[in-house]
């Protein structure tokens, strides 16, 4: 009896230790966000205090007004949303059929394409910016959101394609062969069998592409010159003045507002992961 009691006690201690470690990890991840929110609600005097507090003495909502109205954060957010959503949709439309062709259709182009995907991840971004700039100038796409979206598609497509290939490799070919035996054509097999099973992978690719393009700064800095077309990352960079003075309150408020769309997009697609897996299991 004592042995059983000790086993149960050790098991409970192990579970408690796991929950404690999880709580510590959540605090580690959430504390910077809480501190950022706290800074966004403080005035300049409290920010200059040598004894900072997590909870502000007085909530300074003026920082959010400055970020939204004076700095044009809303307009920049719309520009970032346009480029991020456009790049995400185009990447999915290209990566899914291309990944299926590379996974299921054996040819010499498959090896060449996979080698190209691997090589494209080797070169640093700074080496690509000059040829990209020259190409966009020839196409008259400099200083345009459409040109920036095209660059984002080219930038994120190799890794997204690699992820799609990995997900497609886990789908058994027997399911497609069974659908072919039942008389389904290639397109119907892809629509009814492959896509439901691939739904979690498509969601992951969408989240990767959206977050990568939403937070991107370097390409936008080189391609966009007009103030009206600046993305969110470029607008946040303007909170540092010419003298190097940092307007910390409005910058923190703008950063908080910039995080919200990414969190909403992630929360929206996260539900589709479980839904896609369940749908694929039923279809299979």
DSSP one-letter string for 164-227: HHHHHTTS-HHHHHHHHHTT--HHHHIIIIIHHHHHHHHHHHHHHHHHHHHS--HHHHHH---G
What is the rounded distance in angstroms from the CA atom of residue 279 to the CA atom of residue 282? 5
What pLDDT is recorded for position 209?
92
| Angstrom distances, CA of residue 118 to CA of 123, 164, 210, 217, 231 | 10, 14, 21, 24, 29
pLDDT beneath 50: ranges in the chain? 1, 276-284
What pLDDT is recorded for position 245?
65
Instruction: Report how many domains make up the chain.
Output: 2
- CATH classification at residue 116: 1.10.3720.10
What pLDDT is recorded for position 90?
95
Cβ(148)–Cβ(110) under 8 Å?
no
Cβ(203)–Cβ(209) under 8 Å?
no
What pLDDT is recorded for position 213?
93
What pLDDT is recorded for position 278?
42
Residues 83, 40, single domain; the answer is no
Residues 127, 159, single domain; the answer is yes
Residue 32 is part of which domain span?
2-47
Buried b / exposed e along 221-249 (16+ C-beta atoms within 10 A): ebbbeeeebbbbbbbbeebeeeeeeebbb
Residues 13, 133, single domain; the answer is no
Closest CA to 197 of 166, 161, 168: 168
Cα torsion angle, 178, 181, 184, 185, sign: positive
pTM: 0.81
Is residue 85 classed as helix, strand or coil in its secondary structure? helix
Cβ(235)–Cβ(73) under 8 Å?
yes
What pLDDT is recorded for position 18?
84
Residues 138, 40, single domain; the answer is no
- Cα–Cα–Cα angle for 228, 232, 233, rounded to 5 degrees: 120
Residues 25, 120, single domain; the answer is no
What pLDDT is recorded for position 282?
42
What is the rounded distance in angstroms from the CA atom of residue 135 to the CA atom of residue 152? 14
Determine, yes or no, domain membership for 147. Answer: yes
* Number of CB atoms found within 10 A of residue 170's CB: 9
Determine, yes or no, domain membership for 60. Answer: no
Determine, yes or no, domain membership for 54. Answer: no
pLDDT digits (tens, 9 = 90+) for 218-275: 999 999 988 888 998 888 887 765 555 677 888 888 888 888 888 888 777 776 665 5
Residues 103, 205, single domain; the answer is yes
Residues 22, 76, single domain; the answer is no
Stated as kind and residue range, the H or E segment containing 94 is: helix 73-104
Among all chains, which residue has been given the structure tokens 């279809």? Answer: 283
């Amino acid at each position: 009896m004592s042995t059983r009691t000790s086993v149960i006690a050790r098991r409970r201690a192990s579970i408690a230790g796991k929950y404690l470690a999880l709580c510590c990890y959540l605090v580690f991840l959430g504390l910077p966000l809480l501190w950022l929110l706290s800074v966004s609600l403080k005035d300049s005097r409290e920010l200059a205090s040598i004894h900072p507090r997590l909870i502000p003495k007085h909530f300074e909502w003026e920082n959010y007004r400055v970020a939204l109205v004076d700095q044009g954060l809303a307009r920049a957010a719309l520009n970032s949303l346009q480029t991020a959503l456009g790049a995400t949709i185009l990447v999915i439309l290209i990566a899914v059929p291309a990944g299926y062709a590379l996974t299921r259709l054996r040819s010499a182009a498959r090896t060449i394409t996979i080698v190209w995907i691997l090589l494209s991840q080797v070169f640093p971004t700074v080496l690509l910016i000059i040829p990209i700039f020259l190409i966009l100038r020839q196409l008259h796409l400099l200083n345009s959101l459409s040109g920036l979206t095209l660059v984002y598609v080219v930038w994120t497509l190799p890794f997204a394609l690699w992820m799609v290939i990995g997900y497609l490799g886990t789908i058994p070919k027997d399911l497609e062969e069974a659908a072919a035996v039942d008389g389904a054509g290639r397109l119907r097999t892809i629509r009814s069998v492959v896509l439901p099973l691939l739904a979690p992978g498509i969601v992951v690719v969408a989240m990767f592409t959206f977050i990568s393009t939403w937070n991107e700064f370097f390409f936008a800095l080189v391609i966009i010159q007009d103030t009206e077309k600046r993305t969110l990352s470029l607008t946040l960079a303007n909170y540092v003045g010419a003298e190097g003075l940092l307007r910390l309150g409005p910058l923190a408020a703008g950063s908080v507002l910039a995080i919200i769309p990414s969190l909403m997009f992630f929360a929206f697609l996260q539900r589709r992961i479980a839904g896609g897996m369940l749908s694929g299991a039923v279809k299979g």
